[in-house]
Amino acid sequence: MAKIVFQNVSLSYSIYDARSTSLRNALVKIGTGGLLEKSGTNSVSVKAIDNVSFEINKGDSVGLIGHNGSGKTTLLRTIAGIYTPISGKIIREGSISSIIELGAGMEGELTGYENIIRIALLMGLSKTLIISKIPEIEEFTELGDFLAMPARTYSAGMTMRLMFAVATCIKPNILIVDEMFATGDAAFQKKAYDRMNNLINDAEIFVFASHSEALIKKFCNRLFYLDHGLVTEKGVFS
């Protein structure tokens, strides 16, 4: 059974050469999402997650809201295991798939086929599994012979098609998504939306960061508000 538990979890990182007051103020303006703390003479530490505890169980669809830079993506990456907290405990039960940063891991000199293997391995999938998924990815991307060409020859839309197809080629117990996005032309966007809808419906747990109140209400039954490293549950949507 799928489960995510955070027990007094904190995450921070240092920003070096942050000596001046103006630079520290600039860091606040770009929206680090956490609390700035003095970490040394030439650096500041950003506490992106501050002693956070919550439990997400099977059947929960959690929407994350907050201002730009409030830490939504940082929390998603921590849930997914991309970031390691400095303190606290995280319990994860069930397979996880995250759609957070499409384009990460793509290597321009490799072919589309080679990038499929590379990205899938970075996702933690086995080579045997991803090879079995290649025919489905070929069909879904509609890239044809371009899959045998270097990725540097792809347009932005082609790259997004490939990345999206790989990221959504398995049905996980836990699905983590950072915003919905437009990918390709209208027909492909419809395909992508339908696939996302199916993944969300099939997932035992869904965690979704968005600025769209309509999408949050459509897909989520719990609401977490993020502000300066703190997470507060705001109730359940009817």
Residues of CATH 3.40.50.300 domain(s) within the chain?
3-94+209-235, 99-203
Exposure class string for 18-38: b at 16+ Cβ within 10 A, else e = beeeeeeeebeeeebbbebee
The residue with greater pLDDT, 41 or 223, is 223
CATH number of 99-203: 3.40.50.300
pLDDT greater than 80 at residue 91 = yes
What pLDDT, in 10s, does the model give residues 21-64?
A: 554 454 444 444 555 555 555 666 777 899 999 999 999 999 99
What pLDDT, in 10s, does the model give residues 126-166?
A: 999 999 999 999 999 999 999 999 999 999 889 888 988 99
Q: How far from 89 is each of 11, 52, 75, 86, 141, CA to CA, in Å?
A: 11, 10, 14, 9, 39
Q: How far from 165 is each of 56, 95, 174, CA to CA, in Å?
A: 27, 18, 17
In the three-class reduction of DSSP (H, G, I as helix; E, B as strand; rest coil), residue 227 is classed as strand
Q: Which pair of structure tokens corresponds to residue 96?
A: 């996880």
Which of 27, 34, 30, 31 is closest to 13 using CA atoms?
34
What confidence score (pLDDT) does residue 27 get? 46
Q: Which pair of structure tokens corresponds to residue 137?
A: 């990815």
Q: Whole-model pTM?
A: 0.79
Q: What is the mean pLDDT of the chain?
A: 84
What pLDDT, in 10s, does the model give residues 184-204?
A: 677 888 888 898 889 999 999
What confidence score (pLDDT) does residue 225 get? 94
Fold of domain 3-94+209-235: Rossmann fold (3.40.50)
Q: What is the DSSP letter of 111?
A: B
What confidence score (pLDDT) does residue 28 get? 45
